[in-house]
Amino acid sequence: MHLMFSHVNFASRDPYCSHLLMSHPPIRSKLVDTMGEGQFRGIYSLVSLSTFIPITVAYFRCRGKGEMGKLIHNLGSYKAIQYTATGLRGLALATFSQSISAPSPNAMAAEFDDNKIRGIVRITRHALFTSLAFWGLANVIARGYAVDLLFWAPYARLDLVLGWNTLF
């Protein structure tokens, strides 16, 4: 099981690579010109799912088993950390709901007037990244097992970076 999760953890960088590479404007425009918008979106979704599903399955299979079940930190035992994690999860749910109700101006094929942008997208242009970062950070501080840190830390780290990059 340990080898399986190590392999999948290495591959867990791939969803970010696929999102970063495939959505990078010069690469995206060449792909869209070659295959069309609809086909590009379909392939983009398939690549995303084909990397996300195995990582998630491996995470749930490895929880509490072997070296992946080893406790790295015990911060979650403190009430202040539990309250902080709960607050971060609340922020995650709030920004997630806002990401659904107010789509990102940076979304594919989106046409927005900057004067009409309201709500969370005035702070971050990609509220979904922000919500995933909050959720990942909450799980990193509240859960101290190796498998949890390997699974959730990339969300906290990379989604903050990706969310910050969409501000500009």
| pLDDT at residue 68 tops 90 | no
Residue 82 tokens read as 């539990």
Percent of the chain having pLDDT more than 70?
A: 70
- Give mean pLDDT, residues 112-139: 76
The number of C-alpha atoms within 13 Å of 115 and in the hemisphere containing its C-beta is: 0
Candidate from 45-59, 62-76, 112-126, 150-164 with smallest mean pLDDT: 112-126
pLDDT tens digit string along 81-123? 999 999 999 999 998 988 887 766 656 545 555 556 666 666 7
Q: Collapse the DSSP code of 34 into the 3-class scheme (helix H, G, I; strand E, B; otherwise coil) and give the result.
A: helix
Distance CA 57, CA 103 (A): 29
Encoding tokens for residue 147? 């498998």
Query: How many residues make up the chain in this entry?
Result: 168
Report the percentage of the chain scoring pLDDT > 90: 20
* pTM beyond cutoff 0.85: no
As a whole number, mean pLDDT of residues 140-150 equals: 88
pLDDT tens-place string over residues 9-32: 444 455 566 666 777 778 888 999
